[in-house]
């Protein structure tokens, strides 16, 4: 049996449940400590996804909701990267779902009432499955910053929400990807709830000039790391045997 435990989650790099400057956490953060439960079933099983489950255009937010021949409004970007685990191994077959505001900072959601208009050719969601190298890509528009009710004048940096279903349910992750150099990042209570500067930097997509498509779109790179497994007890026996 080569199954080994996942590394425990390193909470020093995760935002605490109760982050006082992020007001919504006050009434929604558990007050008792989490009960440590390295759940074998959760660490070794999880939903499995097939490319057949997805539409072939799902990854392309520029066109997946657009009228025929049309495209979403705003700066065209390629958002791409890899899903790896903490042992630097690729995670193939991971379902990545993303959602975001449009270029004006408005979400296509019944509860979003921001005055920026909806884009009729953009719904702001997409999904894909990582390939054998753990690689993924989305084509989309760069989202706009938007105001949020966390104070009299508070703005979210431009961001894309990412949901990742990896190889096991204990790796389940939802996060947000920011953009290199965004001046709102140091002012955002959600970002700053992360107590580790390197962990914040890793959430910031970097301009990737090499992947930029000439005369078409700018590329950003965002790699995602899921929890990895301890090496097997028997060091002379490779994992999987």
**Strand ranges in 101-145 using DSSP code E only, listed in sequence order:** 125-129, 135-141
111 belongs to the binding site for other proteins (CB under 8 A): yes
212 versus 228: smaller Cβ distance to other proteins: 228
Instruction: Give me the catalytic one of 80, 82, 127, 156.
Output: 156
DSSP code of residue 116: S
Compute how many other C-beta atoms are within 10 angstroms of the C-beta atom of residue 103: 20
Residues 6+ apart with CB under 8 A from 185: 157, 178, 191, 200, 204
Instruction: Give me the catalytic one of 65, 80, 106, 107.
Output: 107
112 versus 131: smaller Cβ distance to other proteins: 112
Q: Which of 2, 3, 9, 238 binds other proteins (CB under 8 A)?
A: 9
The answer to whether 135 and 222 are in contact (CB under 8 A) is: no
45 belongs to the binding site for other proteins (CB under 8 A): yes
Strand 155-156 vs strand 146-147: parallel, antiparallel, or unpaired? antiparallel
Q: How many residues bind other proteins (CB under 8 A)?
A: 88
40 belongs to the binding site for other proteins (CB under 8 A): yes
8 belongs to the binding site for other proteins (CB under 8 A): yes
156 in active site: yes
Rounded CA separation 35/87 (Å): 25
Rounded CA separation 131/14 (Å): 27
Residues 6+ apart with CB under 8 A from 153: 147
194 belongs to the binding site for other proteins (CB under 8 A): yes
Distances (CA, A) of 160 to 80, 140, 154: 12, 10, 18
Residues 129-158 that bind other proteins (CB under 8 A): none
Q: Which of 78, 98, 141, 219 binds other proteins (CB under 8 A)?
A: 98
Per-residue binder mask for other proteins (CB under 8 A), 198-237, x = binder:
xxx-xx--------------------xxxxx-xx------
Round to the nearest angstrom and report the end-to-end CA distance of the chain: 7
15 belongs to the binding site for other proteins (CB under 8 A): yes
180 belongs to the binding site for other proteins (CB under 8 A): no
- Give CA angle at 227 (211, 3), nearest 5°: 125
53 versus 133: smaller Cβ distance to other proteins: 53
Stretch that binds other proteins, among 69-77, 137-145, 197-205, 211-219 (CB under 8 A): 197-205
91 belongs to the binding site for other proteins (CB under 8 A): no
197 belongs to the binding site for other proteins (CB under 8 A): no
Q: Which of 70, 73, 108, 187 binds other proteins (CB under 8 A)?
A: 108
DSSP code of residue 182: -
Catalytic residues: 107, 146, 156, 159, 161
């Amino acid at each position: 049996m080569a199954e080994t435990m996942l590394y425990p989650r390193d909470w020093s790099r995760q935002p605490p449940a109760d982050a006082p400057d992020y007001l919504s956490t006050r009434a929604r953060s558990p007050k008792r400590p989490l009960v440590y439960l390295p759940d074998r079933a959760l660490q070794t099983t999880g939903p499995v996804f097939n490319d057949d489950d997805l539409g072939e255009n799902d990854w392309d937010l520029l066109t997946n909701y657009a009228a025929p021949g049309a495209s979403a409004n705003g700066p065209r970007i390629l958002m791409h990267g890899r899903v790896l685990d903490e042992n630097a191994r690729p995670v193939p077959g991971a379902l990545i779902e993303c959602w975001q505001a449009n270029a004006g900072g408005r979400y296509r959601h019944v509860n979003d009432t921001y005055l920026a208009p909806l884009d009729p050719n953009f719904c702001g969601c997409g999904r894909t499955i990582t390939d054998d190298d753990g690689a993924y890509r989305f084509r989309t528009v760069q989202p706009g910053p938007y105001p949020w009710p966390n104070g009299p004048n508070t703005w979210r940096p431009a961001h894309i929400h990412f949901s990742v279903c990896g190889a096991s349910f204990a790796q389940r992750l939802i996060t947000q990807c920011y953009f290199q150099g965004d001046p709102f990042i140091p002012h955002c209570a959600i970002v700053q709830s992360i107590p580790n500067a390197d962990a914040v930097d890793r959430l910031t997509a970097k301009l990737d000039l090499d992947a930029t498509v000439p005369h078409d779109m700018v590329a950003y790179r965002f790699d995602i790391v899921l929890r990895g497994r301890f090496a097997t007890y028997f060091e002379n026996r490779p994992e999987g045997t």
